[in-house]
Every structure is written in C-alpha cells, then in structure tokens.
Structure 1
Amino acid sequence: MTWTADSLKFGAFLAPFHPLNADPALQLRRDIDLMQHLDHLGFDEAWMGEHHSTGAEIVPAPDVFIAAAAERTERIRFGTGVASLPYHHPLVTADRITQLDLQTRGRLIFGTGPGKIPLDAHMMGIDPSDQRRMQGEALEAILALLRGEVVNMETDWFTLRDARAQLPTYNPAGIEIATASTMSPNGSVLAGTHGLSLLSLAASSPSGFEVLDRNWGVYETVCAEHGHVADRSRWRLVNPMFLAESQAEAEKAVSRRIQSMSYYANRQNGRYPDWGQTPQGVIDHWRNDTLGEFGQAIIGTPDQAIAQIERLIEKTGGFGTMLILHVDMANWEDTKRSYELFASEVIPHFKNRNRGREASLQFAEDNRDYLIGGLVGAITKAHTDYYGQPTQAGV
C-alpha cells in the first residue's frame, strides 16, 4: 500500500512530566481532563507511561489511569506508553491487559518496553543490563498467552506452569502491541521478530532523528525474515510540541514552568548547566539541541509544527501516527489552546480536509465574470419584472 500524508493519525504521549512543587492529585486530574479534551478535539490516540521513581513521572500504573480515562471519553484509543515488562509477572500483565481491553471495548494499544529509569530497576533489584533480555522473555510469554496458548516457561525471574489467559481480547484479531525504540536497533529487532508495531520515542533528538530511516530498515528486514509485513501505518513517532498564535506567546506561556523539565532531566545526572538557569535558556536549548532524550521541541506556531512533521516525513518516507510529547509546562487554558491550534490548523493540513472548500473558492474566483454577471442579470431581471424598469446592478 502506498503511503500518503492524509493517512496520518495524531495523538499525545504522556510520561507524564509534572513539576515537583504542585499537588499530584490535581496533576492526575488534569491528565484525565486532557484525555477528555483530546477526545473532544478528534485526536486519535493518547499514551500514558509507567514510572516508579524520581518524582516527575507520577503514574506507576498506566492501566489504572487508562481505565479511568476510558470511562470519560468516547472514541480515542489509549496506549500504555510503555508498560515496563521486567517489572511484572507475564501472566499478571496479560490478565490486566485483556481486562483493560474488554473494559475499553477494544480501544487499547499495548505498548511495551524494558523500563527506563535506573532507580526503578535498582529498587526492584534488577540489573539494568538484564532489562532488555527480560523484556524479550516476558514478551514471548505474553504473546503466547494472548494467542490463547497454554504456556510452560521458566526463566531466572519468572515461572509459568500450565498458564493460560482466561479472558478473550475484545477484537478476535487481538490487541495491537507496540515495542519502544530509541536510538539502538534493539526495539526494531524485537518488534520485527514478533510482527509488532514500532514506537520511536526519540524521533526528534539529533541522534534519534539520524537513525530513524536506518532503524526502519532493520525493522523491515527482520519482519521479512520472520514472515511479517512492515506496515508504516503502525509506526509512531514522538516529538515535543507546544503551540500558540505566535512564537512569543508560546514562550511566554511556558516560561513559568519549563525550568521544572530541565531541573528534572539535569538533576538525575547531577548537572546544572548555565542554560538551565533561565526559562529562555531552557527554551533555546530544547529547541536547538535536546533536553535529555526527549528530542528537539517545537515551542511556537502551527506553521512550525507543520514544518517539523514534514521534516520527519521526508526523513522516514512516511509513518502512521505523530504523537506530541506532552509536558505540564503551561497553565490549563494555554495547554488546551495548544492542542486546539494543533487540531484546527495542523491536522487539516495533512488530512487535506479543506481540499473541497479551497477548490470551491478557486472555481468561484476563476469564473467570477460569468458568475457575477449571471447574478447581476438575475437581479436586474427581477427588478424589471416587478417595477417594469431596470435598476443599477446590485440594487
């Protein structure tokens, strides 16, 4: 199937990133409010991550969050972004995911990964060097369980004996499952081996952007080796974005909170760079370099967002879904407005939703003499028929 830009889908990806000086209960409530707002605006997807430490990423159970958000929305699909497989027994994971799939009536995407934050792994006694191996082992077991197989499997960290998932998936074809990828080809290999969707988390970072096409090539090769089809519609890219009517207004909107993102990223590494000391320094650094692994951000206008998405299309040759990395760095009204601008001006650009309207106006312009002449003639005739004498055109 030939890829076209009007097939693009759009969504948001939440870690979530929140400042450490606000009420976490309200922050969670605002994230659910955002899900409702995205659903109302027509976004296709929303993803929620899993993290257990370091303060800023405050959702340890994305399935619990999604269950609540699904009850308050109608059509948007939800992704676990991502479920850290080494942290959970595979049978429990499969059971919770099938339950959530049924509760959402098939609106679930099961995003998987090895786990990101070193402190999470440390607290659970997991060696970070084992996490990708553990992810692969867990994924092998979970996929078999979701296919309805009886699984007997033993590793150095879990055992399955005559294990089976007792609940079905909502869709007989199963649940869409995605694997996270950053810079290394590991995610592409794992996704291609099992025929899963691909989620590129670092698409807009300089190093992540550089390897996008290369990692897709790895994915295509591994898919072919294992009898799967590499479908670009199942490839998702993540990019930080915040929009306003002008670049100056966007910078003003994020200036009070954006340093919290820098503080979170730099403090984990014990770094306190000069650029992190002012809001403008953080804005400029995030635009022109990168803030951790999160990529280069668009903090500006819809036109700038369009240009960045077109850049990603050119680099990749086409992908399925653009996910906005959401950061809690503006007040609620400005946050809602950012997504409204994206929905009203960016999405229609790629969906070609105004093609017919533009064509209609163009036809009117191209045929103005004939059309206006006909209108003037009709008005003149109507006046003559009534009064018995012509009148000036347009009266």
Structure 2
Amino acid sequence: MEIGYFTMPSHPPECGLKEGHDWDLEVLRWLDELGYQECWIGEHHTAPWEPHPSPDLLVAQALRETRNIRIGPGGFLLPYHHPAELANRVAMLDHLSDGRLNFGVAASGLPSDWAMFNVDGMSGQNRDMTREALEIILKLWTEDAPWTYQGKYWTVNKPDTMFDFLKPHIKPKQAPHPPIGVAGLSKNSDTLKLAGERGFIPMSLNLNPAYVGSHWESVEIGAAKTGRKPNRADWRLVREVFVADTDEEAWRLSAGDMMGRMMGEYFLPLLGHFGFKDYLKHTPDVPDTDVTVDYCAKRNWVIGSPSTVAEKLETIYHEVGGFGTLLVFGFDYKHKPEAWEHSLSLLRHEVMPRLKHLDAGLGKAA
C-alpha cells in the first residue's frame, strides 16, 4: 500500500488566501521529505472553507520546492475551462514538472459553483461537459492535425500548418499524457464509471468504508464497457487520518481541533443540505441527527496511535476488498504545525511498515 495526500485545500473562512496557500506549500514540502507518493489539489470557486480556485498555481510553486513527489490538480473542474486552453496549460505544466504531474479531473458538485458559471448541474450538464472536455483534451494531445471537433458545448479546431510556421505544437512531456485521476462520491458515480471505462485512476472521497465498497462496482461497470480489467492497486481511498503517540491525544487533536471544526461547521451541514448524510452512515437506519462529529470520528475517521491506525486501515482494506493508495485528507493545522507534521511522519514511518503484507493486486493479504 502506498500513501499520498488529497487536499481541497481546506482552510477556515477567516484564513487569508495567501496564508492558506503558504500552509499548503509547507505541507507539500513535508510530504516530499517524508516520501509520500503523490498529492492531489482541488479546485473550488464559491466555498470559503475550500477557497483555492487555481490548483495549478500551487502545483507550479510546489514543483520548484520538491524533488520526488508527484503533484497534480485533484481535479480541474472541466465544465469551467475551455478544453483547448486547458490542454495547453496542463501540457506546459507537465514539462515544468519534468514528468511528475498527475492530471486530476472532476465534474464539480457545488450548486454555488454551477450558478457562478451558469452550468445546470441538476440535469447532469456538468457531467456531460466533463466527458466532452476530456475527450477534446485527449484528442488534442494524441491526434495529428488537421481536424475539427464539433461538440455540444465546444467547437475546437486543430489546424494544419499556417503561413509555413504557425501550428499546434504543445504536447505533454509524459507520453501520451500524464496519469489521469477522477474522484467519485455517489454510489453509482458516473466519474468512477468513466475511470473504469478509460483506464483512469479512480479516487473515492472520504465516506464510510461500508459505503465506499460499492465504488469499485462502478469502476468495474465502466471497465466492462470497453473490455478492460481494472486493477485494485490503482484505486485511491481518501480518508481523514490523524496519528498521535496515544489514542487519547489523536482524538483531542482531531475531533477536538480543526478536523472537528471543519466537519461540524462545514462538511456535515453541506451534506445535510444535499441529503447526503447517508454516505457517512455505517447502516442506513442511523438517523441523520446521529451523524455528528463524534460519530464520524468513531465510525469513519482513521485516528489513534500508530498501532490503532494500522489496525483500522487493515480493517478498511478488507472491508472494501483491497485498494492501492491511501490519500490523507488535508486540513489546516498551521496553528499546530508540529502536530500535523508528526501525524504525517508517524503514518509514514510507524504505520505503513505494519501494512506491507497487504497486496491490492490480490485484494487480500498476501
């Protein structure tokens, strides 16, 4: 099992935009030094608790201050970008990364973002736009000119050479393109079906393990459409993780600190408005009123001492049938940076060695 990081990025509303950006950059430096495999950075436009609208700006800076970790958007919200412009920008970023870039894409799930960009998310327009944009981007990267793509939302041309020397010339450094990741939330996630269909990296967002187990079914349904055989080793699970020297300290620093505050002030109310609290329940008959910060900390989060966290991760691994990479969900602990860095270090050096016997390729203990 590998470990990485997934950050929205999340910051409390009173945090300045540069202040939050600088914290994220500091954490990326730690992750690289600790030997984490990858980091994915989200994009949002109207959520004060998830305030970064431009993951590529953070990626570009982080690439200059790290050496080994793979970094990428997790992901670009494709309905809000012209696919030709984004194709060129991501390709350029791949060259700046010297081949360390991952390319995460998403359809966008916030109604306030839909409203800002006049996208009808209720009808699924955001998902249709995502599929069309990605098709155009891949076509620009892999198919020779000249051609015209006449889509429902965009018309894009890849012209032949003009005036002897003007022509499309920008392609990614990684051939045929950087690894593509897509994140899924719902039980019959369209994006996870897309991952299976196209061989992309599937990422399951931080939900109850009993619920997440159904996500692999979506990947397999998509893969069956194109005759692919998906590999569980490619599957990423995003989890809230806090490791401390003792279980009591981990509880105090997670449920009793920023993880608890973010969940109580933002994430739980948000899911409640959408009717999505079922995603956090270990059984469907749990009343919504019981889904509190403490409930999530006990049932869903992976918190505790190194031995406790290792035990919880192995349980989750078997519950979902095996996965390849744990992605730690990022939080803003700039008020207690040593605690967050210590948690990341304990996970890397104390927890992961205890899980070496797990083989996601088999979906069971080796």
Whether TM exceeds 0.5 here: the answer is yes
Q: Write the distance in 2 (CA, Å) between the matches of 1:237 and 1:266.
A: 19
- Structure 1 residues 149 and 331: alpha-carbon distance in aligned structure 2, compared to 1, 3 A threshold: farther
Structure-1 residue corresponding to 2:68: 75
Displacement of 1:284: 1.1
Which of 144, 157, 161 lines up with 1:161 in the alignment? 157
Q: Write the distance in 2 (CA, Å) between the matches of 1:59 and 1:22.
A: 12
- The aligned amino acid for 1:34 is V
Displacement of 1:40: 0.4
Structure-2 residue corresponding to 1:175: 178
3-state secondary structure, aligned to 1:108 = coil
Which of 296, 299, 302 lines up with 1:286 in the alignment? 296
- Structure 1 residues 32 and 96: alpha-carbon distance in aligned structure 2, compared to 1, 3 A threshold: same
- Whether 1:309 aligns to 2:310 is no
Alignment root-mean-square deviation, CA: 2.4
3-state secondary structure, aligned to 2:72 = strand
Q: Is the 8 A contact 1:262 1:282 kept in 2?
A: yes
- Structure 1 residues 298 and 221: alpha-carbon distance in aligned structure 2, compared to 1, 3 A threshold: closer
Structure-2 residue corresponding to 1:34: 27
Structure-2 residue corresponding to 1:237: 237
Q: Write the distance in 2 (CA, Å) between the matches of 1:193 and 1:342.
A: 33
Q: Is the 8 A contact 2:204 2:215 kept in 1?
A: no
Report the count of equivalent residues. 327
Could you tell me which runs of 5 or more consecutive residues in structure 1 were left unpaired when the two chains were aligned. Answer: 1-7, 272-280, 290-295, 353-395
Taking only the aligned residue pairs, the percentage that are identical comes to 31
Displacement of 1:82: 1.3
1:78-157 to 2 correspondence within 5 Å? 78-128=71-121, 129=123, 130-150=125-145, 151-157=147-153
Q: Is the 8 A contact 2:263 2:293 kept in 1?
A: no
Displacement of 1:247: 1.9
Structure-2 residue corresponding to 1:16: 9
Q: Is the 8 A contact 2:241 2:329 kept in 1?
A: yes
Q: Write the distance in 1 (CA, Å) between the matches of 2:337 and 2:293.
A: 19
- The aligned amino acid for 2:307 is D
Structure-1 residue corresponding to 2:284: none
- Structure 1 residues 68 and 181: alpha-carbon distance in aligned structure 2, compared to 1, 3 A threshold: same
- Whether 1:332 aligns to 2:337 is yes
Stretch deviating more after TM superposition (136-145 or 322-331): 322-331
Displacement of 1:55: 0.4
Could you tell me which runs of 5 or more consecutive residues in structure 2 were left unpaired when the two chains were aligned. Answer: 160-166, 275-290, 358-366
- The aligned amino acid for 1:181 is G
Structure-1 residue corresponding to 2:364: none
- The aligned amino acid for 2:245 is E
Displacement of 1:251: 2.7
- Whether 1:198 aligns to 2:210 is no
- Structure 1 residues 282 and 135: alpha-carbon distance in aligned structure 2, compared to 1, 3 A threshold: same
- Structure 1 residues 265 and 317: alpha-carbon distance in aligned structure 2, compared to 1, 3 A threshold: closer
* TM-score relative to the length of structure 2: 0.82
1:335-354 to 2 correspondence within 5 Å? 335-351=340-356
Displacement of 1:156: 3.8
Q: Is the 8 A contact 1:85 1:112 kept in 2?
A: yes
Q: Is the 8 A contact 1:112 1:177 kept in 2?
A: yes
Displacement of 1:267: 5.0
Q: Is the 8 A contact 2:142 2:176 kept in 1?
A: no
Stretch deviating more after TM superposition (192-201 or 336-345): 192-201
* TM-score relative to the length of structure 1: 0.76
Q: Write the distance in 2 (CA, Å) between the matches of 1:245 and 1:222.
A: 42
Highest Rg: 1 or 2?
1
Structure-2 residue corresponding to 1:389: none
- Whether 1:264 aligns to 2:260 is no
Q: Is the 8 A contact 1:17 1:327 kept in 2?
A: yes
Stretch deviating more after TM superposition (315-324 or 30-39): 315-324
Q: Write the distance in 2 (CA, Å) between the matches of 1:152 and 1:247.
A: 59
3-state secondary structure, aligned to 1:327 = coil
Structure-1 residue corresponding to 2:360: none
- Structure 1 residues 149 and 180: alpha-carbon distance in aligned structure 2, compared to 1, 3 A threshold: farther
- Structure 1 residues 94 and 288: alpha-carbon distance in aligned structure 2, compared to 1, 3 A threshold: same
Structure-2 residue corresponding to 1:383: none
3-state secondary structure, aligned to 2:197 = helix
Q: Write the distance in 2 (CA, Å) between the matches of 1:165 and 1:205.
A: 46
Stretch deviating more after TM superposition (66-75 or 303-312): 303-312
Q: Is the 8 A contact 1:79 1:109 kept in 2?
A: yes
3-state secondary structure, aligned to 1:322 = strand
